[in-house]
Amino acid sequence: MPAPETTPAETAPRRDQPLKGIFLKVLSVCIFVCMASLIKATSGHVPPGQAVFFRSFFAAPVILVWLLMLGQLRHGLETAAPMSHLWRGIVGTTAMAFNFAALGLLPLPEVTAIGYAAPLLVVVLAAMFLAEKVRLFRLSMVALGLVGVMIVLSPRLSLGAGPIQPTEALGAVVALAGAICAALAQVFVRRMTETESTAAIVFWFSITATMLSLLTLPFGWVWPTPAEAAMLVMAGISGGIAQILMTSSYRYADASVIAPFDYVSMLLAIVIGYLVFSEVPTGPMLVGAAIIITAGVLIILRERWLALPRGRARKAMTWNG
């Protein structure tokens, strides 16, 4: 699934409880995959724009209750930059719609693997738009990860194989477009965290996505069956719960400790894809996913290694002060 869209919650000081943080992160990842499975199960009848509406609308009450429990309902929804929420909402909603469309066109594990391109693309986009310094190692890992993405995409785009299957090719392009939009949305979030709280970022995205999804109403919304409606409502509720768990996980451990557990989603996607949707993972998908995951984990470990001397230096400055 796409990488985290929010920053650590500001509601409590960082605690040294890595096992709790890892547990919450893994639980959130599993729920996100289950949410994607619910969306995929309805994709044959329900259009992506309508699925985005259910996912966003029914997540909002869950987030509101969470903010109320944290005592952030009043101040957490205040914003100093409303237009930034709008632009982030447009890009993030587009990413969600592309991802939901891809789920109806490709196997669940492939959509999951292609989604891993987002955090790699963030490195490039952050250098372009946020002037972040990107060293040779990270650029090399990004290039390696993108090679993995091309390996996953190659059978669908018939690179070196037989004739192109239009539906599969469209799914591959849409999934990649979703990853690009998700990466751009994360860049927006990085900039927004300078003035906006996590609570505001999470809540206003749900509201913006709900409103934007209504624009697709004239373009083919359908009346879902009771079973489909139940799955869509559950997708929204579970998406809100997963977002809260993911955000909360960063209160208990460093991001460098938690981030690698995003890739648990691949294992669960393969299991659910096989058992529920009869999707057998292909060789190129497994090889490409392994390369993407390797590149992502190496970037995370490298950043953690570089952070250690910086942390020691900050402690020394504190004691000397």
How many domains in the chain?
A: 1
Q: Which residues of 168-205 are buried (b: 16+ CB within 10 A; e: fewer)?
A: bebbbbbbbbbbbbbbbbbbbbbebeeebbbbbbbbbb
Q: 308 or 229: which carries more pLDDT confidence? A: 229
Cα–Cα distance for residue pair 40/27, rounded to 1 Å: 20
Residue 114 located in a structural domain = yes
Helices (H), 130-225: 136-153, 166-192, 198-213
Q: Is the pLDDT of residue 276 over 90?
A: yes
Residues 61-90: tens digit of each pLDDT: 998 998 888 887 777 788 888 888 999 999
Query: Which DSSP category does 280 fall into?
Result: P
Cα–Cα distance for residue pair 32/37, rounded to 1 Å: 9
Q: Is the pLDDT of residue 116 over 50?
A: yes
Range of the domain at 273: 18-313
Cα–Cα distance for residue pair 3/55, rounded to 1 Å: 17
Band of residue 252 on the pLDDT scale cut at 50, 70, 90: confident
Residue 1 located in a structural domain = no
Residue 319 located in a structural domain = no
213 contacts 56 by C-beta, under 8 angstroms: yes
Poorest-pLDDT segment among 113-117, 197-201, 298-302, 316-320: 316-320
Residue 217 located in a structural domain = yes
Residues 130-146: tens digit of each pLDDT: 777 778 888 888 899 89
Q: 309 or 205: which carries more pLDDT confidence? A: 205
Residue 11 located in a structural domain = no
Residue 309 located in a structural domain = yes
Residue 4 located in a structural domain = no
* Average of per-residue pLDDT across 179-196: 86
